[in-house]
Amino acid sequence: MMADKIRRTKIRQILDEGKSETELCVKGWVRTKRESKNVAFVALNDGSTINNLQLVLDVPKTDESTLRKITTGASISAKGKLAESQGAGQSVELLVENIEVLGEAHPDEYPLQPKRHSLEFLREIAHLRPRTNTFGGVFRVRHQMAYALHTFFHEKGFLYLHTPILTASDAEGAGETFKVTTLDLNNVPKTEDGQVDYKQDFFEKETNLTVSGQLEGELAALAVSEIYTFGPTFRAENSNTTRHLAEFWMVEPEMAFYDLDDSMDLAEEMLKYMVKHALENCKDDLAFLNKRLQDEEKQKPQNQRSEMSLLERLEFVAENDFERVSYTDAIEILKRSKPNQKKKFQFLIEEWGADLQSEHERFLVEKHFKKPVILYNYPKDIKAFYMRQNDDGKTVAAMDVLFPGIGEIVGGSQREERGAKLEERMQEMDIPKEELSWYLDTRKFGTVPHSGYGLGFERMIQFVTGMGNIRDVIPFPRTPGNCEF
């Protein structure tokens, strides 16, 4: 009876501060069991840490059928006394006095076994993969990164602004939106000239899921000075790459009275803050992920292995200034580069104005500068309508932060705050003024220079965890043809 009153303690707390002789109750999932005639060792994990607690069971004193049900994946509740561990690998262990199986996981059916499974296989069982060390680690790091972001912006006095998911605008103008409708798709109402009659739709106009919270973010920044949004965004781009998702999370700060330089400073400070936070607060998970990546690298041919380990890369980014290079200078470097001269790039750089592909971005970061790079002042024709036009008539005050192994991780700009210039650009790009009258109003009433950017949250998690595929840093990835779970 007494034992029932002990409250459950999480394994992380026990391993951090547990003292011998304390009476404890633990709950979690079995990772492994080793059994001999007299004693059984169970490695228990409850997700609070990557480390397991070792449970020691007196076999003759344990109910036989209970013992049989303690298999990999089963959930259990155990009570007993903490003791200093005799064995190597852990400082304390739990001498079990009472154990209960809460839920069995039949060995013939449970797909996770105590061995390394491929990431491809685990993607097919994304509902169970959080129970592996790798995914537990990735999701704990992901949580810490979200926490770090909120702390960073809160301490600077930014307001966390919730921008809408449902919207009628396509902020990036790339036409990659997911439509939202309640119309009966088998019987779509049409207007007299044969177009879909959106007047009869739920919002009485054409609507989609947001691709960015920026435009709404600007409205708020032009009232309270500094805001950030952090939420899911949706893009129906049909790109099956290791860096694209159809649903991804974006952090978008927007700052009144910031020019492009101020915005680059903020982005660099934020990224370093996040990396430092991970190094300080995710030690065990990063040590595991570092080792995991080292093992993976060993499978690659020597010349394709990265020069730095995950931890070295994180330390390097936290400690070193990013390189800031104009688009024009970058194009010169790329034109003269070996892979361009030797036609090794898939897309050769011929002239100023070319859009940069990830192969070019990664060349600049990984081969040329060997550090994160911020490219700025891009040709206006490859960038969005809202970016501030520079005096040269050719470029806009845009900036992209490029990271090793990732390529573009942040995209942003100074915004065109001059109403006439903005309207002119919208006209050139065929963006109807009427649809964005609310946006144009901010330029009419008390406009100010302002800037902002968007960080792809999953790409940042890829960088911090060393995971090569973006599908493995979000719990339930959405990609073309894949919306399971």
Sites for ligand 4AD among residues 167-186 (CB under 6 A): 171-172
Total residues in contact with ligand 4AD, by rule CB under 6 A: 22
Binding flag, residue 214, ligand 4AD (CB under 6 A): yes
Among positions 409, 422, 467, 473, the unique one binding ligand 4AD when judged by CB under 6 A: 409
The DSSP bridge partners found for residue 101 are 76
Binding flag, residue 244, ligand 4AD (CB under 6 A): yes
CB of 87 to ligand 4AD, least distance (A): 44
Query: For the residues of 143-204, what is the DSSP string, one character each?
Result: HHHHHHHHHHHHHTT-EE----SEES--TT-S--PPEE--S-TTS--B-TTSSB-GGGSTTS
Binding flag, residue 258, ligand 4AD (CB under 6 A): no
Q: How far apart are CA 258 and CA 218, in angstroms?
A: 12
C-beta separation of 263 from 414 below 8 A:
yes
CB of 171 to ligand 4AD, least distance (A): 6
Distances (CA, A) of 464 to 66, 126, 286, 337: 41, 21, 8, 29
C-beta separation of 410 from 267 below 8 A:
yes
Give the range of 18-26, 30-38, 162-170, 448-456 binding ligand 4AD by CB under 6 A: 448-456
> Which residue type does 423 have?
E
Query: For the residues of 264-312, what is the DSSP string, one character each?
Result: HHHHHHHHHHHHHHHHHH-HHHHHHHHHHHHHHHHTS-GGGS-SS-HHH
- Among ligand 4AD, Mg ion, none, the one that 250 touches (CB under a kind-dependent 5 to 8 A) is ligand 4AD
Half-sphere exposure of 68 (CA within 13 A, CB side): 3
Distances (CA, A) of 109 to 74, 106, 369, 423: 12, 5, 51, 62
- Among Mg ion, ligand 4AD, none, the one that 55 touches (CB under a kind-dependent 5 to 8 A) is none
- Among ligand 4AD, Mg ion, none, the one that 456 touches (CB under a kind-dependent 5 to 8 A) is ligand 4AD
- Among ligand 4AD, Mg ion, none, the one that 459 touches (CB under a kind-dependent 5 to 8 A) is ligand 4AD
- Max distance between CA atoms of the chain, in angstroms, equals 85
Sites for Mg ion among residues 396-415 (CB under 5 A): 411
- Among ligand 4AD, Mg ion, none, the one that 407 touches (CB under a kind-dependent 5 to 8 A) is none
Binding flag, residue 477, ligand 4AD (CB under 6 A): no
Rounded (10°) CA dihedral 434, 436, 437, 441: -160
Binding flag, residue 138, ligand 4AD (CB under 6 A): no
Q: How far apart are CA 395 and CA 285, in angstroms?
A: 43
Q: How far apart are CA 356 and CA 56, in angstroms?
A: 58
- Among ligand 4AD, Mg ion, none, the one that 218 touches (CB under a kind-dependent 5 to 8 A) is none
* Complex with Mg ion: residue 170 or 297, whichever CB lies closer: 170
* Complex with ligand 4AD: residue 11 or 211, whichever CB lies closer: 211
CA-only gyration radius of the chain, Å: 27
* Complex with ligand 4AD: residue 152 or 288, whichever CB lies closer: 152
Binding flag, residue 267, ligand 4AD (CB under 6 A): no
Binding flag, residue 456, ligand 4AD (CB under 6 A): yes
- Among Mg ion, ligand 4AD, none, the one that 214 touches (CB under a kind-dependent 5 to 8 A) is ligand 4AD
Closest by CA position to 161, among listed 222, 248, 246, 236:
222
* Complex with ligand 4AD: residue 93 or 254, whichever CB lies closer: 254
Distances (CA, A) of 136 to 142, 357, 465: 10, 33, 12
Give the range of 54-62, 123-131, 246-254, 303-311 binding ligand 4AD by CB under 6 A: 246-254
CB of 245 to Mg ion, least distance (A): 14
Print the binding letters for residues 361-400 with Mg ion: x by CB under 5 A, - otherwise: ----------------------------------------
Distances (CA, A) of 254 to 115, 277, 380, 422, 477: 46, 23, 21, 18, 27
Q: Other C-beta atoms within 10 Å of 210: how many? A: 25
Binding flag, residue 454, Mg ion (CB under 5 A): no
Binding flag, residue 449, ligand 4AD (CB under 6 A): no
Give the range of 88-96, 105-113, 404-412, 422-430 binding ligand 4AD by CB under 6 A: 404-412
Q: How far apart are CA 151 and CA 269, in angstroms?
A: 13
- The structure tokens listed for 288 are 């595991």
Binding flag, residue 408, ligand 4AD (CB under 6 A): yes
Among positions 73, 80, 411, 477, the unique one binding ligand 4AD when judged by CB under 6 A: 411
CB of 411 to Mg ion, least distance (A): 3
- Among ligand 4AD, Mg ion, none, the one that 245 touches (CB under a kind-dependent 5 to 8 A) is ligand 4AD
**Binding residues vs ligand 4AD (CB under 6 A):** 171-172, 212, 214, 235, 237, 244-245, 248, 250, 252, 408-412, 452-454, 456, 458-459
**Binding residues vs Mg ion (CB under 5 A):** 411
